[in-house]
């Protein structure tokens, strides 16, 4: 049954402007619905960025397939999305859909699609709702048909995006629009605007109750967290403490929403804020060396942190105590949690750790040319990912 349209939803939709919209045909819009599939539809599993899923990944895998990959500018992306039999893989100037079973290319689209443009660039990892994949490219947001790779609609902006987040059937994008910084909510099915708010609010993570954004304070390299109602755009709270880094594009990889807590990595410290009102709860230094924005986290009750700058992986419990802290040579920019293991991206492949003891379960090397790595994508008995110049699937014997 489709979601009912409440009075609040009617007011929100009535107030939404349709300017800036698609150049391709669009269907009529639908009411906001935050429901998400229990699948790896986002670069870090879900809109909350927990990089965790209840499925059991591999324990003693072999390499099922590998494919060579253009590894230029991979620092922009956090991971892939997995949809049925498609693995959606972003690259510098294009999005590819690979068969999850064989690794064969199903389709590839170069973005932006405007042939008058000489420069092509993809600016976000793929995010999925239903049969559509949302990505940002230069000054537009695209909805791509997952089956065919054809664009369904395009929403034009006045600048490249500061951030793109998807919650249910609504996409949230920060960019210049009509010459001003805006946070805009878009209906995924049609590309129509639901609402907008003035100001530079960069989407970081979202759940059914709030979209959490970073907002500069006006001081250099300083920002606050702000929460908006995802349905109406009403401002809910502002964090009582500032964050020391204002680099929102990079910060997205270090923000996740737990059950009642918002976790943020900030200059080598893991910080916790109350999910409901933005009040600061605790800080935990992650080591003696201050890290850059490259620390990444996964949340499954406790928080698992990978620190590629200093080759370490940690477990921090929800009250802020460090459970374990171990050296991890070759750590890369991705960590995820399945039902049994913690999976850590490495420059040459992927490893699994026991979440209770930090002991190594396995390590698989897949890359001919080691390099940047992303969040491992967990499926039943399988992990997908990027290591250097290689897209891979490793899985237990079937």
Sorting pLDDT into bands at 50, 70 and 90, what band is 7? very low
Mean pLDDT of 118-144: 92
Distance between CA atoms of residues 360 and 358, nearest Å:
7
pLDDT, position 290 = 65
pLDDT, position 28 = 47
Domain contains 391: yes
Instruction: Give me 227's structure tokens.
Output: 């929460």
pLDDT, position 249 = 47
What is the domain range of residue 218?
7-395
For CA atoms 91, 334, 216, 290, the dihedral sign is negative
pLDDT at 327 over 80: yes
Residue linked to tokens 């391709």: 24
pLDDT at 15 over 90: no
The Cβ of residue 249 has, within 10 Å, a number of other Cβ atoms equal to 17
Mean pLDDT of 247-258: 70
Domain contains 259: yes
The Cβ of residue 362 has, within 10 Å, a number of other Cβ atoms equal to 16
Report the chain's mean pLDDT, rounded to a whole number. Answer: 87
Q: In the β-sheet with 180-187, what is the strand arrangement from edge to edge? A: 163-167, 170-177, 180-187, 193-198
Distance between CA atoms of residues 40 and 105, nearest Å:
19
Mean pLDDT of 203-213: 96
Distance between CA atoms of residues 353 and 358, nearest Å:
6
Instruction: Give me 34's structure tokens.
Output: 């935050």
pLDDT at 1 over 50: no
| pLDDT tens string 283-318 | 999 987 766 557 899 999 999 999 998 999 999 999
Grouping H, G, I as helix, E, B as strand and the rest as coil, residue 142 is strand
pLDDT, position 95 = 94
Question: Beta partners for 98?
Answer: 87, 105
Q: How many domains is the chain built from?
A: 1
Sorting pLDDT into bands at 50, 70 and 90, what band is 14? very low
Sorting pLDDT into bands at 50, 70 and 90, what band is 142? very high
Domain contains 324: yes
Mean pLDDT of 359-379: 95
pLDDT at 12 over 70: no
pLDDT, position 208 = 96
Q: Give me the percent of the chain exceeding a pLDDT of 70.
A: 86
Domain contains 2: no
Sorting pLDDT into bands at 50, 70 and 90, what band is 30? confident
Mean pLDDT of 150-166: 93
Distance between CA atoms of residues 382 and 378, nearest Å:
6
Domain contains 128: yes
Distance between CA atoms of residues 366 and 363, nearest Å:
10
Element (H, E) at 356: none
Domain contains 370: yes
Check which CATH number belongs to the domain holding 143 and give it: 2.130.10.10
Distance between CA atoms of residues 34 and 152, nearest Å:
21
Mean pLDDT of 114-126: 80
| pLDDT tens string 344-368 | 999 999 999 999 999 999 999 999 8
Sorting pLDDT into bands at 50, 70 and 90, what band is 182? very high
| pLDDT tens string 41-100 | 999 999 999 999 999 999 999 999 999 987 665 666 889 999 989 999 998 889 999 999
pLDDT at 242 over 60: yes
Domain contains 29: yes
Element (H, E) at 364: strand 360-365
Q: Are 372 and 386 in contact (CB under 8 A)?
A: yes
Considering the entire predicted model, what is its pTM?
Answer: 0.90
Domain contains 1: no
Q: Are 76 and 361 in contact (CB under 8 A)?
A: no
């Amino acid at each position: 049954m489709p979601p009912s349209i409440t009075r609040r939803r009617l007011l929100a939709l009535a107030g939404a402007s349709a300017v800036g919209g698609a150049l391709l045909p669009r269907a009529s819009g639908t009411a906001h619905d935050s429901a998400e599939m229990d699948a790896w539809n986002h670069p870090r599993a879900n809109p909350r960025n927990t990089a965790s899923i209840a499925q059991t990944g591999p324990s003693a895998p072999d390499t099922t397939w590998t494919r060579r990959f253009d590894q230029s500018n991979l620092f922009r992306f956090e991971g892939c999305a997995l949809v049925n039999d498609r693995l959606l893989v972003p690259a510098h100037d294009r999005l590819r859909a690979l068969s999850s079973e064989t690794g064969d290319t199903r389709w590839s689209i170069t973005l932006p699609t405007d042939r008058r443009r000489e420069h092509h660039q993809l600016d976000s990892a793929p995010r999925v709702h239903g049969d559509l994949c949302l990505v940002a490219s230069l000054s537009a947001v695209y909805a791509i048909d997952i089956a065919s790779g054809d664009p369904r609609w395009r929403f034009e902006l006045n600048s490249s995006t500061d951030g793109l987040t998807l919650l249910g059937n609504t996409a949230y994008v920060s960019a210049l629009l009509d010459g001003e910084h805006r946070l805009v909510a878009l209906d995924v099915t049609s590309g129509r605007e639901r609402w907008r708010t003035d100001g530079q609010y960069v989407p970081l993570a979202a759940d059914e109750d709030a979209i959490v954004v970073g907002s500069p304070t006006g001081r250099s390299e300083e920002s606050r967290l702000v929460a908006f109602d995802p349905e109406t755009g009403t401002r809910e709270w502002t964090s009582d403490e500032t964050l020391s880094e204002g680099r929102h594009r990079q910060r997205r990889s270090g923000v996740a929403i737990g059950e009642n807590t918002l976790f943020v990595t900030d200059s080598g410290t893991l910080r916790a804020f109350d999910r409901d009102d933005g009040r600061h709860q605790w800080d935990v230094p992650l080591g003696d060396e201050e890290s850059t924005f490259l620390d990444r986290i996964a949340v499954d009750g406790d928080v698992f942190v990978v620190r590629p700058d200093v080759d370490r992986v940690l477990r921090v419990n929800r009250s802020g105590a460090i459970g374990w802290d171990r050296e991890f040579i070759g750590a890369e920019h991705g960590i995820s949690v399945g039902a049994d293991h913690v999976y850590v991206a490495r420059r040459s492949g992927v490893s699994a750790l026991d979440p209770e003891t930090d002991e190594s379960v396995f390590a698989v090397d897949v890359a001919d040319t080691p390099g940047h790595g992303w969040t491992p994508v967990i499926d039943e008995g399988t992990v997908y990912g990027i290591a250097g110049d290689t897209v891979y699937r490793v899985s237990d014997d079937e």
